[in-house]
Structure 1
Amino acid sequence: MTSSTIRFPRKSLRVLAVGSLLGASAMAMAAPAPAPAAPKFDVQRISNDIKILSSDEFEGRGPATAGEKKTIDYIAAQMKAAGLRPAGNDGSWFQNVPLRMSSIQGSPTLSMTIGSAATPLSQGEQIAVRAAETGQNSVDLKDLPLVFVGYGVKAPERGWDDFKGVDLKGKIMVVLVNDPDFEGGEGDFGGKLMTYYGRWTYKYEEAARQGAAGVLVVHETEPASYGWATVKNSNTNTMFDIVRADPRTAHTQMEGWIQKDLAAQLLKTSGIDFEAAKAAARKKDFRPIPLKATMSANYGVKSEVITSYNVAGLVKGSKYPDETVIYSAHWDHLGVGLPDAKGDRIYNGARDNASGTAALLELARAYAKSKPERSVLFLAVTAEEKGLLGSEYYADNPLRPLATTAGVVNMDGPLSIEKTTNFSISGAAKLDLLTMLTEEGEKLGRHYTPDARPEAGSFYRSDHFPMAKRGVPAISFSPGRELANGGDARGKELSDAYTRDKYHQPADEYDPNWNTSGWNSDMTLLYGVGNRLANSRDWPNWSQDSEFRAARDASGASRK
C-alpha cells in the first residue's frame, strides 16, 4: 500500500449521524431492511492465506515476476474453490494489464558539485533515483543546474504559481513534499488535509509539464508520512507505469528523492537557511531559487512493455445481475529489493497487502454461499505499489460498467492489529457509502472516526481513488486504532511502530502470534456494508460539494 497500513484516527470523534455530513444534497436512501445474520468467518483460514501469500516462496509478490504467477494462480484457485465465476478477459480469471516496466541496470553513478565541492552520492543513502519511465535506455546528465522550486505547485484556481515563468529546461527541480499548508495548518490548500498537489506523483507530472530534465523530492518524515526506509525501498527497485502514447508528457528522465540533510546543504551553500526557504515557499509570492550546485547522473535503463494481471471473480446477482458491488484489494507488494540490516531481500508484505487479499478471499467464500440480488465482483488488482496502476487500468477498462456499479469497498490492511472500538476510511470524503458503513458499524458497537492524518493524503494512495475519480462511490476501509485494551494511545504506539519498523520493509512478515481478536468484527463490518448494498435498490452518491459528484450524476440515466 502507498500509505501506512495501520494509520488511524488520533482521537475518538464520534459521528452520531454521518449522513449529516452530506446535508440535504445527499441522496435519500431507503431504511435498511432486516438482514440475515452475517456469516461466521474463519479467522484461521484468513491467517493461513496471509501466511501463504507472504511466504518467501511468493518472493514479495512483485508484478512481472515468478511471484506474480504464483500469487494470481493462488487467488484464482481460491475463487474457483469458493464457487465464484471467472470474470476476467475471455472467460478467464484474469484481466490483462499492460504496463511499462523499467529498471536500472547495475549501480547508478550519481554526484553533485555543491559550491565548488565534488560530492559523490550513494543510491539509497543520500538519494534514491528511480528507473527512467520515459522509455529511454539510459540516463546521462552532465552538470545540470539545480533549482529550488518550493512545493512545485501550479494551481491557477487558487492563484498559486511556484514557477513564475522561470525556464526549467535542462535543469533539475528540487521540490518539497506535501503542499504549502502542511507546516502552518491553514491557507489556500485546505489546511492539513492534503490536496493532490501535495502528492509526489503530482510533483513528477508538473516537472514534466515544466520541461525540467529531472526532479528531486526532499524527504521529511512528517510531511511524507513515512520514513526514508520506505522511500529507499519503494524507489530503487523496478518501476511500472501505464502504457502511454508519449511517456515524456508525464515523466522527466530522472525522478527521485533526496534526504533533508542534503537539501539543507544545497540551500546553505547558496546562502539560504532550509527552514527559511520552507517558510518562503508557503507564500504566494515565492520565486524559484537557483542553487549553487549541479548534478550529474549516469546509468543504464532496461525498459519494456509487459503484461500484469488483475484477478476477478463474480457472484452473479439473483435479481439485478447487471448491477455490481465491488470488493477490491491489491495483491502486489515490492518483490525482491535491497537487503535490510539482516540481509533479508524479500519484501513479504504480510499486512501490506496479503491481509487485504486474504480478507477478499474470505468475503468471496461468504458471498458464494448467499444469493445477493446484485452481482458482487471480487477484484484483486496489480501494481498498487507502483501508483495504483491495476485499479487505474480497471477504471479505464471496466469489466463491469461503472455507471451501474453501486459502490466499491477497498481493503488495504483491513484487519485490526488488536480488537478496536472504532473504524475509519482513508481520507475525508463525504458520501452515502460512509453513512451505510457507519450504520453497519454501530450494529457491532463500533463508531466511525475521521482519518487521523488527512495531511498524509491517504485518499489518493489506495485503489478506491481511480474509481472515485470517475464518480463511483468508493471507500478504502481502515479498522481503527482505538484499542479495546489500551485505547487510542496504545493503538497509536503500535501503529507508529509498524510504520517505522515494518512498512515497506522486509520485516512486514506473517506472525503466528498476531492478536486476531478483532478480525471477525472487521470481516462482519466489511460484509455488512457490501451485503446491504447488494440487496437494496440504493444508489449511493457523493455529497453535493464533492468533486466526484458531477461525474456520478452524468451517468444517472443508466441507473434505474
Structure 2
Amino acid sequence: MKSIKLILSLLALTLTVSLQAQTEEAKVIETTSKGTIEGHIYFLADDLLKGRETGTPENKIAASYLANTLRRYGVKPNPKTGTYYQEVKLKRESPPYEVTIEINGQKIKDYAFVSPSPVNTDSDAVYLNYGLEDDYKGKDLKGKVIIIKAGSSEAKDTRAAFGLRGKKQELAQANGVAAIIELLNADDNMWGFIDHNFNSSKLMVAENEEDKSDNNQTAHVWVLDKDNKMAEALSVTKRISSKVAISENKEEIVMSQNVIGMVEGTDPKLKEEFIIYSAHYDHVGIGTPDETGDTIYNGARDNAIGTTTVLSMAENLAKYPTKRSALFILFTGEEKGLLGSKFYVENPVLPLNQMVYCFNSDNAGYNDTSLATIIGLSRTTAAQHIKDAATTFGITAIDDPAPEQGLFDRSDNVHFARKGIPAPTFSLGFTAFNGDVTKYYHRPGDEADTLDYDYLLKFFRAYVLSGRHIGNDPKTPVWTPGDKYEEAAKALYGN
C-alpha cells in the first residue's frame, strides 16, 4: 500500500512539474496571437503616421496609441508621473539659410555642414594637408580658413572623415582657425546620404540653461571633391583666395515623449529587481521617393516590430506577472541619435541600480526565418534562457553575425550598457547585413504587408518566453566575466 502511495505521489509530482513547465509556454501562447501582432504593426506602419518622425504630430499619435494599449492591458503607468508618458525636451537646429563658400573665385555648391557655426571671412586660405597635428607645426593660422583632405594618410574614406571630425575641429579651434573646408571624395550615392543627413534639421536633447557650456565650434564643412581633383590642384597652388559666410542656425524647442509602464513582480524580494523591456517607436518620416514614387518611410521592420515585441511582453506580464518586476519603455528619437534613451538614463523614473537587465528589441530586416538574431547574446548570463525560449517555438537564437556593423552600439541598449546594465538586443533573424535586410532598411518599401507573420508569431513568442525565463530565474542576470561593461556594472550595483 505504501509503495502504491509513493508511486502516486511521484506521479503527482512529475505531473505538477510537467504542468508548470507547460504553463509558461501556454501563458505565452494564450496572450500572443497573430491577429494582435498584425493589428499593432499595420497601425504603426500605416501611411497615416507618415513614418513616425520624432517631433511630428504623427509621432505623437503613435505615442498615444502605445500609451492607451498599455492602459488597456492593465499595465500601471509611469510611477513618477502617474501617466504613461515621460516628456522629452529636445532642441531642433535647422541649417543656416544664408551660405556662401568660394575658393579662388569658384562658388561651391556641393557642401555639407559638419559644424555649421556662424562665420564671415574673406581672406586667403591655407592648404593644410589632412589638418592633423603635424600639419599645424610651425604655422600661424589664427583667423585663417584652412582647406584639408578628408580622413588621414591611413584612411581617406567617409567613415574615417566622420571619425576624425572631432579631432580636426579641436585642433582647428586650438589654433584659432576661422573655418575648415574638408575635401571629400564620394560617389553620388554616398554624397546623397551625406547631404540628407548633414544638411537637414537636427534634433538633440535640450540642455538646461544652467548646464550650458560654451559649445561654439569652428565652422566646418565637407566639400564634394570627386576623384580628389580639387585637392590635387590646391596642393600646388601658391595663393588660395576664399570666402566663407555662414549665417546663424535656427533653433526651436520640440517636445516628444517616451512611453512608460510597469508591472510589479510577485516575489517579495525579487520584485525589487526590474527587467526593462524596451524598443524605439519612432522612424525617419518622409524622404526621397523610391522607384514607385513612394515617399513615406513606414518603418514596419524598424521598428514597429520591436515596438510590438514590447507590447506583447506587456500584455503577457499584465496577466501573468513574473517574480521580478517589469518596466516597459518605448523610446522616441532613436533615429535622431538614440535621444529618448539618452534622456531616460539621465532622468530615470526608478533608480537604475534596480534595473538588472534591459531586453531591447530593434530591427532592420530579416533574411532567415529559422533564426532570431540577438545582438550581444553571449555577453550576458541570460543567454541560455533566450536560446531555450527560441527553441521552444521552433527557431534558433544566434549571436551577431555582422560585428563589423557595430550594431550593439547603434541602438538604445547601449546607453543602459554604459551605465552597467546587461542589455542585449533581440532582432529578426539575419545571417549577414545585406540582401533582404538592406533592401528594406530605411526605405519606403518597409511596409506591413511585406512581412511574414507566421515567422513573426514564433519570433514574438520567443521574446516573451525569454523574458519570462529571465524574470523568474532566482539568479540575477549579469554580464559575462570580462565584458567591457563589467566595471560599470560593479560601480552601479556596488559589487
Range class of TM-score, shorter chain: 0.7 to 0.9
1:201-240 correspondence to structure 2 within 5 Å = 203-212=164-173, 213=179, 218=184, 228-240=191-203
Pairing partner for 1:268 from 194, 208, 232: 232
Measured in 2, the distance between the counterparts of 1:52 and 1:433 equals 32
The aligned residue for residue 55 of structure 2 is: 64
> Does 2:368 align with 1:377?
no
Aligned residue in 1 for 2:4: none
Q: Which amino acid aligns with 1:129?
A: F
Which one of the candidate residues 293, 296, 308 is aligned to 1:358? 308
Alpha carbons of 1:440 and 1:39: their partners in 2 closer, same or farther (altered >3 Å)?
closer
User: C-alpha distance in 1, partners of 2:304/2:134?
Assistant: 40
In the alignment, which residue of structure 2 is the partner of 1:194?
Answer: none
Pairs within 5 Å for 1:317-328: 317-319=265-267, 320-328=270-278
Could you report, residue by residue, the CA deviation over 1:30-49 in whole angstroms, capped at 9, with x for unpaired residues?
A: xxx94611523222322332
Q: Please, which of 473, 477, 482 is the counterpart of residue 536 of structure 1?
A: 473
Conservation of the 8 A alpha-carbon contact between 1:208 and 1:248: no
**Which amino acid in structure 1 is aligned with residue 64 of structure 2?**
D
* Cα pair 2:367 2:437 within 8 Å, conserved: no
1:49 is aligned to 40
In structure 1, distance between residues paired with 2:324 and 2:393: 24
Matches of 1:437 and 1:167 in 2, distance apart? 60
* 8 A Cα contact 2:50 2:286, kept in partner: yes
Separation (CA, whole Å) in 2 of partners of 1:481 and 1:291: 54
TM-score, normalised to structure 2, is 0.78
Q: Which residue of 2 aligns with 1:39?
A: 28
Find out whether 1:386 has 2:298 as its counterpart.
Answer: no
- Alpha-carbon shift at residue 392 of structure 1 (Å): 0.8
8 Å Cα contact 1:428/1:454 also seen in 2? no
Match of 1:440 among 385, 389, 397: 389
3-state SS of 1:555 partner: helix
Once the 2 structures are TM-superposed, how far is the Cα of residue 537 of structure 1 from its aligned partner? 2.7
Task: Quote the residue 2:462 is aligned against.
Answer: 525
Q: Shift of residue 535 of structure 1? A: 1.0
Letter in 2 for 1:355: I
Cα distance between partner residues in 1 of 2:223 and 2:160:
17
Q: Report the residue type matching 2:436 in the other structure.
A: L
TM-score w.r.t. structure 1 length? 0.69
Q: Does 1:79 pair with 2:70?
A: yes
> In the TM superposition, what are the counterparts of 1:29-428 in structure 2 within 5 Å?
34=21, 36-37=24-25, 39-40=28-29, 41-87=32-78, 89-104=80-95, 106=97, 109=99, 111-113=101-103, 116=104, 118-122=106-110, 127-129=111-113, 132=116, 140=120, 147=128, 149=130, 171=145, 200=162, 203-212=164-173, 213=179, 218=184, 228-244=191-207, 245-246=211-212, 248-249=214-215, 252=217, 254=219, 261-262=225-226, 264-270=228-234, 296=244, 298-319=246-267, 320-337=270-287, 344-413=294-363, 417=366, 420-426=369-375
Secondary structure of the residue that 2:358 maps to in structure 1?
strand
| Per-residue Cα deviation, 1:216-258 (whole angstroms, up to 9, x for no partner) | 695869xxxx955544443343211123434654x73656666
Indicate the SS of the match to 1:64: coil
Report if aligned partners of 1:94, 1:311 keep a CA contact under 8 Å in 2: yes
Taking the aligned partners of 2:48 and 2:194, their CA distance within structure 1 comes to 25
Distance verdict in 2 for CA 1:536–1:508, change over 3 Å:
same
Q: How far 1:475 sits from its partner (Å)?
A: 1.0
Structure 1 unaligned regions, length at least 5: 1-32, 153-160, 184-196, 273-289, 483-487
Specify the structure having the higher radius of gyration (Cα): 2
> Which amino acid letter does the alignment assign opposite residue 373 of structure 1?
K
1:517 & 1:175 partners in 2: Cα distance?
Answer: 51
RMSD: 3.9
Quote the offset at 1:162 in angstroms: 8.1
**Distance change >3 Å, CA 458–CA 131, structure 1 → 2:** same
The count of aligned residue pairs is 456
1:36 aligns to what SS in structure 2? helix
Q: What is the DSSP-based 3-state SS (H/G/I as helix, E as strand, rest coil) of the residue aligned with 1:335?
A: coil
Unaligned regions of 5+ residues in structure 2, if any?
1-19, 174-178
Deviations 1:433-470 (A, max 9, x none): 44543343344454444433322222221000111111
SS in 1 for 2:24: coil
Structure 1 residues 393 and 378: alpha-carbon distance in aligned structure 2, compared to 1, 3 A threshold: same
**8 Å Cα contact 1:177/1:217 also seen in 2:** no
Segment of structure 1 superposing worse, 323-332 or 535-544:
535-544
1:169-207 C-alpha deviation (Å, 9 max, x unpaired):
765686767996899xxxxxxxxxxxxx9794x645445
Whichever residue aligns with residue 210 of structure 1, its letter is: L
C-alpha distance after superposition, 1:307-347 (max 9, x if no partner) = 22111011111223331101111111223455566665443
Shift of 1:406: 1.5
Q: Deviations over 1:116-168 (max 9, x none)?
A: 4614324xxxx443785xxx7x6656576575548x7xxxxxxxx78777888
Structure 1 residue 266: deviation in Å?
Answer: 3.7
**Aligned residues with identical type, % of pairs:** 25
For the residue of structure 1 that corresponds to 2:328, the secondary structure is strand
> Is 1:462 aligned to residue 427 of structure 2?
no
CA gap 1:449/1:534 in 2 versus in 1, 3 angstroms: closer
Q: Distance in 2 between matches of 1:405 and 1:461?
A: 21
The structure with higher relative contact order (CA 8 Å, sep 6+) is: 1
Q: Helix, strand or coil: the match of 1:47?
A: helix
Aligned counterpart, 1:20: none
**Paired letter, 1:410:** N
Given that 2:356 and 2:477 are in contact with CA atoms closer than 8 Å, whether structure 1 keeps it comes out as yes
Alpha-carbon distance in structure 1 between the residues aligned to 2:334 and 2:244: 31
